Structure formats: structure tokens, C-alpha cells
Structure 1
């Protein structure tokens, strides 16, 4: 089925369709129509490259899709909130012109406390947002000391994130090239000639003594950092959740400090750190990306699964073979699939170096996430802050609502259950209700509640499996927990979908159910994402990029990794797709130059 323009948002019953004929040869083939693949397609097509995207599902979007799982209710089925998408991508690909509209959230975080911990007039909830006056009032309920500390903490985080910003768009392969230069002066010249490297060096030098704080975030557990800053447990636990989202780790583990920073790197309409809901759900983001790419000539096919990446006699990627046996050739191939799928499933092992295969096999895809999509016939009403008018959303309803965050110890306990393959009775729950600001998602008076829960194991103990009975059992555990905070929630449920780690893997192609295409501890970031960067022995790296193996480049020339398994990692960010598109253009321009030069001689 061929992808084309639609006037409606994507649903599970409708894809894109037009009558453009599939060509036998393209300048670039993109495997996977997730957001990063569509970003690559949009940039390459605008640069004059003839691009084709193959998506195995009936709709594009990858994990950023809107689907009508329950009649009348449109769910952001996997990813559910937007912030990290790079501002330059929104501008370069003119996404607002193609329908992207985002409702910014403020406040952004709401943590109600169970009534069992209300004592002697103590606070019932914690709400945080961009309004520092509100933050001061809210945090002051718990600790006057934490008020001033939070102001200083926020200022520090803004400086650190700003310094890291340029690294998001910096290809690790650029750094590998600099490291490969044999002399110090050669390295200096390389840095001086690369605008992104110059900016990175400048921004890091501007940090001054904040460099020590950055080093701390990159190396220490988030719990140690947060407990040094703050005294209040609800505040610590709420902030700590961002350090473990999608990560099979507790805040007590090294690497969680960086994950905390990663979730603060976003920006909406010039507001750094802001998060929002795209009108029409997350599928509206990928719909805008697809429409933008197709408007300039890209071909996007759905229900077309790639069975194999073709490698020619030179060892170069030369196209793909589809599941139906059709072969399509291309000058370059970009894979939006996970590294495991790309290198272990789509390529013959004989085409890859054994040490690289060993590295790929060792990538950690452990996932703690089960997503539950719920349709309700009334707005959840929290007893900590009850609705003043029945059914009328309060500011808290647009927030990420953190449940079971009275104490950070609860996070550790939930993690321990998952390690043992058991269902935790008090999982970490993040609830969002995008229909509180976006009326297009549910019938009048009704809402969609998206529950991001962890920790849940991929493999259950005692011979249990994630069958429908076990999913129902886990959903009841989660709903019972919500009921403690918002009585009547269970009775309001009119339908649900439970997506366990195996479901996320089978439906969306997320290996291990990992939402980031691979966990994001320090040893799987930057020069080590997806595998440790290498400079192959022999040859001249600067005549042939094939000797430089660092994201987005792979050991197979003309094959690039453009998904979240590449630098800078997960989230609906688009940076991996943009970086891969830029690298693809470099390859194609170099090939064109050598072809012209060869013909001249």
C-alpha cells in the first residue's frame, strides 16, 4: 500500500494510499517509517535525493502513532508526550504547515499523596511547572530549605542542558575522525574546521566550574545527587522518575544522572524544558513528517516489510529485498530499525566483522515498561485536589501525574519485583490525560488515560507468561493503585489495552520492548552507541568513510543507522534521523565527485 496525504489522523484501520508506482532504483531507501526514518527521508528528498521509505505496519509512525483502539477514542498508543523533537527539524521540514500543533503543558508535574500519609494538616500533593512562584508555594509545604535549593537546581540544570545541546546534533563519527588524526595540530585543525565541534568546545569552556557538576551528573546515581540537593521525599521521588523512565535501573545506579538530563533537553516554541501534547495525538507528529517528505517527492510505502538488506560484491549496501521477494536497489540504505534487527536479522553475518557482531549481541535492551491505554467515561477525580466542577479539567489534569511517589524507596521495591520476574503490587505509574486539553481524542465528557508503568519483567517467573489473564491481573493491580488516589476510576473504565514488553517488541519492533532502541547507560551513549566506535586498520580514513565506524556509520559502507539506537538515543527527538541524512548526503556527494573524476580521466 502506498502512502499519501490524509485529511484525518492515522488510525489502526487506515493507512496512506495513492497510485505512485514503486521504482526499481532509488537514491536512498529508508527502512522503517518511524519518526527518525521520516526525518531522514524529509531531509534527503529536500536535498534532491530520490527517497523511498518502507514501513512494515499498515500505518507510518513507528512508536509515535495515534490509533483508535477503542471506537471513538484515539490513543497515542506508545509514545505519548512531546518535547525532545529538535526545533530546527520542526522549522526545516515546515511541520507546522503540515498540521503540527502542540498544546504546551503548564503546570507539568502533579504528585498526589495517598490519604494514608495525610497527617496533622500536612500537604496532600506536589505540583510543579514553569511558574516559580507556584513551585515555591508547593515545595514550601514540605521543606523551606528545598525552596531555595530548587531555584538553584533549576538554574544549574538549564546551564548544563544548554552546554550539552550541541552534542545532540554532533555525529560521533566527527569525533572519531579527530581522534584518528595522527598529530595534535591535525586534531586542532579538524576541530577548527568543524562548526559543531567549535561550538561544543566553546560551550563546554563556558561551563567553568559547572563542569564539575556535569561530571557528577554523568557519573553518579541520580538519587545521590537529588538527596544532596533536597530533603523532601515527594520532591526527590518525583524528580527521580525522569532518571529511570524506560530504563531498567533504580535511581541508586550510575548512569541515571544522565538519563535525568536527557529528559530535560527538550524545547517547545522556544521554551526550554517544556513538554506538550500534539493535537490529534503523537501520530500527528509523524503524519506531519510523512506529509512534509511526500510533498517534495518522497515515496512512502506501508505494509511493506524489508526481509533483507542487500550487500554487493564490494561489501557495500546496495538495496533491500522485501518480504514478497521484490528487490529494490539504492545508492544508500538507512535503517530506522533497532541495531539488533538491522545487523542480526536483516544482514547476513558473513558481511559483518565478528568483533562488531559481538558488540551488537551485547547491547542491553532490557525494558521495564508496560503501557496501558485506557478509555474512561469521566475525568479522574483526585481526592488530594478534587474537581470544583464535575467533569471540568483542573490544571493538574494536563500534567504528568506521578503515582506511588510518596517515597523514592517505592521505586527500588518495584524494581526488585521485576528482577525476580514478579508483578509488583505498587508499580511506578505515570498517568497523562491528553484529552484534558485536546478535545479531538475522545467523545464529549470522556477521556483517554495513558498509563506508563514500570517495573515489569519481559519474562515472568514461575512459568507464567504474559497471556490475557496475566495482563488482566496486572491491569487490575494498576487500577487498584489509581483507585486509592482517584476513587471511581475503575468504574469509569470503558476499555483498555495492555502493552507489555513482549507486546511493544512484536507490535512496534522495539527489541526487548525497550522504548529507546537500547538502554541509555553511559556505556551505550555517544561514541558507544550503538557499539563502541572503531577505526579499522589499514586504508585512509579520509579517502573512504568505510574505515570510520561511529554513529551513524556502520561497518558496511553506504549503510547508515538512523533510528534511536544511534546517537543521541531515544525519545521523539529526530536528531538520529537528521544526523544520518547529513551523513548520507556526504556519501552521495563524494560518490558523485569520484564518478565525475573517474569519467574525466
Structure 2
């Protein structure tokens, strides 16, 4: 059955889809958002684990969300609130030592001194280097990539604008930028630091959600992306919890766009794009319902968008081949737990929920070699026997998530392959969950008995539940060969596609993954530019 017509349809109600829809609605377009699940938010969702215990089920902290998105959608007026722990991270070690990293550089340097006085002094220089690139990175995040390879004078001139921006950096900054884009985390950091503990702590940002290890060339680029992509409450690179869990982002955006006139439908899985004479005219749902529009923006990943929802013959074969080769590999496991008590850390005994170390992120990454060995397991199709864990207990700062005196814990774990060498995820899921908890228990021995309920989400589960191909949280690897004018394919990094009227507005487009809103904002800008022509 054909339904009402719209100016624009956005497929996928994740944060980027809502951002794109809102910017289009601001320009008086009639917009419809279609979401497959029964709730809006994509990976930004808070759901009940067991009655009374709500967990941030997939994404778990806020750091990269663009300040202008928060402002333009009046998100704080619609209930969005961040809770920034101080210190922001604790790094416990097997020998009982630890580091607490803070937004206060001097406090962090004092912690680093426990392991290396030289590294403590080098830390200021490291931060200064990254901050020197902040304005350039901020501009690139908001820039539509030029056509590559360029064809003709006009495209060559557009490409030249990027070259001029890079030349303006000067020799030293340009060399630094290129080093970050090509080096491994280890190579980049070992040129500046000596302590393995310090280098491992910094490497984490280069590994989250990706199929790389700390010694993989290009992993430093991912570290840069997470370290200075944006800021929370004026702290560059800081992480914060969202009041009410990550649904606090989606719900604020949802309320905002609804007030702009955006129509949102849940339980509406799109089965295919309607393409007539090379133009996208709307979508057909899995149940057969059709919605027509002047244009469609897909907030789904490139594989799902082009290889599943586009009928055969509607795309050029060379483009389809490029998309097939676009790497979307699952590498992460998410474990959500309800707790009867807080972890009692060996390094800092005590279970006071107001204690700074209990409110901070906790990072199980004791050495670079430890991280590389965890990655080795992934390469050979095995979940990491001794995984990297990026964890938090947001309920220490947000009592809306669970009953008083109890807590909810989030563990983001590297690594777990989508494609297992042996067995299936249904067969090994809970065993892998046990191994993860066993690893955490080496640092907080009471954690096993504290767990009331647990959910283990493998890459296979992330795909099945959330529609993330292979469980890749970034809609595609974030390595340099898949960034900027190569994301998702050469000559198609400007949010447009070979099908006129079909656009890409999700993390599979520039600048990539993370709860940022930049792909949605940038895509809306290009859509409006086309409409005005």
C-alpha cells in the first residue's frame, strides 16, 4: 500500500539519522524517519536488563558529539545532560599499582611519575602536539571530502583547497599529522614515551571498535580521532556519561525533531529502495508498504545500504565492487551487568560510590604486549583469552539507572571476531562472557559474586539486534584507507551515491564512527545544496 508523500525519508533512527532529519526539517522539508526496531536511537539506547536495571546497551559514553548539534537541537532543553567523572579513568595493574588520569594535566603527570618521571614531562608536549591539530581536525570533520581521484579542472581546484589547508599547517604540523595518519599507536607513542604502562593507556583510543592492534600501521589515526575529535563541557577529548544512559542523546534529539515537524515511525523495516529511471523515489517496507519521497537518506552502513536494499542492476558494477571491498569487520563484545555491589579494586580497596575511582572509566590494558596478544587472538578467529576491557559503572553518578545501593556495569571488550574459526557464537557466548569476568576479577576479586544478571553481546548479536553489519560499531573500519575521500568509496565520499536522490548519512560516510552527529549534519548540508540547485 502506498502511503503519503514526503520531501525526504531517512532510513534508520540512530543519532545521525535524527540529526540529518532535523537539519532538513529546519529548512521546511517534510521528513519521515523509519526505524526497524521498536525504539529510536540505533546504538544510543538505554534498555532494561532485568526489571529495574537499565543499561546503556551498546554505545556507553559521550565525547565526540558536535557542540553545534547540541546547540542547534537545543538538546539540553530537551533533557540532555552529561555527567563528567573526575578523574576520568583508572588504569589498574596486576601488581597492585594504578594510574588515575584526570582532565587536570598536572594531576595526570603526577600519576605518570609513578612509572616514569621522563614520561610525565613528555606528557605536556604530547598533549600540546595534539591540540595544535585540533582546529584542523575540527574543520576536516565538518568538511565534505573532495572528489578523488579528481577529474577535470573544477574537481582539481576543489581538491586543491584541501592541499592549501594542509600547507597552512606548516612543515612541523603537517609532518605530525602525516605521522599520526600512517603510524601504529606503538610507533607513534614509543618515539615520545618510555613506559609500557603509559603507552598502553594511550593506545586504547586507537583500538576501540576496530580490527587493529597497537602495532598495526594506521592505528594512531584512530587514536587521533578519539582523542581530539571534540570535547565535553569544554574538556577536549574528555568522556562523559549521559544522564539516563545513552538514550538521553536519542530522546533529546527525538523530542527536538518532532517539534520541528519530523514524523517518526518505529517497527518499520525497510526492505528495498524504490528506484525508477535511475532515481530513488522512496522505500518499500518489509511488509510491503511504500513511502514516496523526493529523496532518501540512508543511516545504515554501506553494505546494508547498497548490497541489501538496492535492487540488482541499479548500481554500477565498479561501485558495487568497491562497496564489497569496503571492510566492515566485527571485533568487539559488549557485556552489560547488574550488580549487587561495586567492585572492590585490589589497587584501591573500598566500595564508596562517591569515590572518584569508582565513578571513572576503568581500563584493563596493562601493557602494549598484552594488547597485541589480545589482537593476535582476533587475527586467528578467536575471542581474546585475555581481553582489553573499557568499562564503567555510570550508576555511581546516575541513580536513575537502578535501585539504590545496586549498580549497572558496562564492559566494552576487544576482541571478539564476527567470523569464528571454530564453533558459533551461540555455542561459546557465555563461556566468553565468563572469560571476560574472570579477567576483571583479577583486579576486583568480588566482581563474580556481585553480578546479579549479565548480557553478553557478540558481534553476531550486534548485527542481529541492531543491524550493524558484522557487529562493526563504526559502519566500517576506521583505518586511513577507509577515511575521508575514500569513505565509503572513491568519488562517492560526498554523501551522494550513484543513484540520484539516494544519500548516505551514517557513520559509513565521512568522518566515520562515534556518537558525533557529523555524518548526519554534513549529509543534510549536501542534500540541501542539491535541492537549491
Question: Shift of the alpha carbon at 1:583?
Answer: 1.3
Contact 1:558 1:587 in 2 (8 A): no
Whether 2:17 is the aligned partner of 1:37: answer yes
CA–CA separation in structure 1 for the residues paired with 2:387 and 2:246: 25
Aligned to 1:89: 69
Alignment of 1:62-211 (within 5 A): 62-114=42-94, 117=95, 124-172=97-145, 175-176=146-147, 179-182=150-153, 201=164, 205-211=168-174
The alpha-carbon deviation at position 191 of structure 1 amounts to 8.3
- Whether 1:241 aligns to 2:204 is yes
Give 1:161 shift.
2.8
Secondary structure (helix, strand or coil) at the match of 2:189 reads helix
The offset of 1:49, in angstroms, is 0.3
- Residue 373 of structure 1: aligned partner: 336
In the alignment, the residues of structure 1 paired with residue 265 and residue 13 of structure 2 have an alpha-carbon distance, to the nearest angstrom, of 9
2-side partners of 1:458 and 1:393: how far apart?
Answer: 38
How far the C-alpha of 1:105 sits from its partner, in A, is 2.6
> Which residue is 2:424 aligned to?
465
Check if 1:450 corresponds to 2:410: yes
Which residue in the other structure is 2:523 paired with? 580
CA distance in 1, matches of 2:225, 2:377: 26
User: 1:430 aligns to what SS in structure 2?
Assistant: strand
Give the conservation status (yes or no) of the 8 Å contact 1:153–1:229. yes
Q: Which residue of 2 aligns with 1:312?
A: 276
Q: Give 1:25's aligned residue.
A: 5
**CA pair 66-97 structure 1, distance change in 2 beyond 3 A:** same
Mapped partners of 2:186, 2:141: distance in 1: 25
The correspondence for 1:512, drawn from 467, 470, 475, is: 470
Counterpart of 1:268 (choices 224, 228, 232) is 232
Q: How many angstroms does 1:293 deviate by? A: 0.5
Question: How far apart, in 2, do the equivalents of 1:261 and 1:215 lie?
Answer: 11
What are the Cα deviations for residues 570-589 of structure 1, in whole angstroms up to 9, with x where unaligned?
A: 00010000111111112222
What CA distance in whole angstroms lies between the structure 2 residues aligned with 1:392 and 1:213?
41
Question: Following the alignment from structure 1 to structure 2, what is the Cα–Cα distance between the partners of residues 201 and 135?
Answer: 37
CA distance in 2, matches of 1:191, 1:346: 32
Q: Which residue of 1 aligns with 2:433?
A: 475
Distance in 1 between residues matched to 2:54 and 2:167, nearest whole Å: 43
Report the TM-score when normalising by structure 1. Answer: 0.86
Q: Which SS does the other structure have where 1:242 is aligned?
A: helix
Distance 2:271 2:385 in 1: 41
C-alpha contact (below 8 Å) 2:87/2:100 kept by paired residues: yes
Are residues 191 and 253 of structure 1, via their aligned partners in 2, closer, same or farther at CA, if it must alter by over 3 Å? closer
Structure 2's unaligned 5+ residue stretches are none
CA distance in 2, matches of 1:514, 1:393: 34
Aligned to 1:395: 356
Give, in angstroms, the shift of residue 204 of structure 1.
Answer: 5.5
Counterparts of 2:522 and 2:121, CA distance in 1:
40
Equivalent pair of 1:163/1:204 in contact (CA under 8 Å):
no
CA distance, structure 2, for counterparts of residue 258 and residue 242 of structure 1: 10
Distance 1:339 1:289 in 2: 24
1:407 matches 2:367: yes
1:563 aligns with 2:506: yes
The whole-number CA distance in structure 2 between the counterparts of 1:471 and 1:128 is 33
Indicate if the aligned counterparts of 1:161 and 1:261 stay in contact, CA closer than 8 A: no
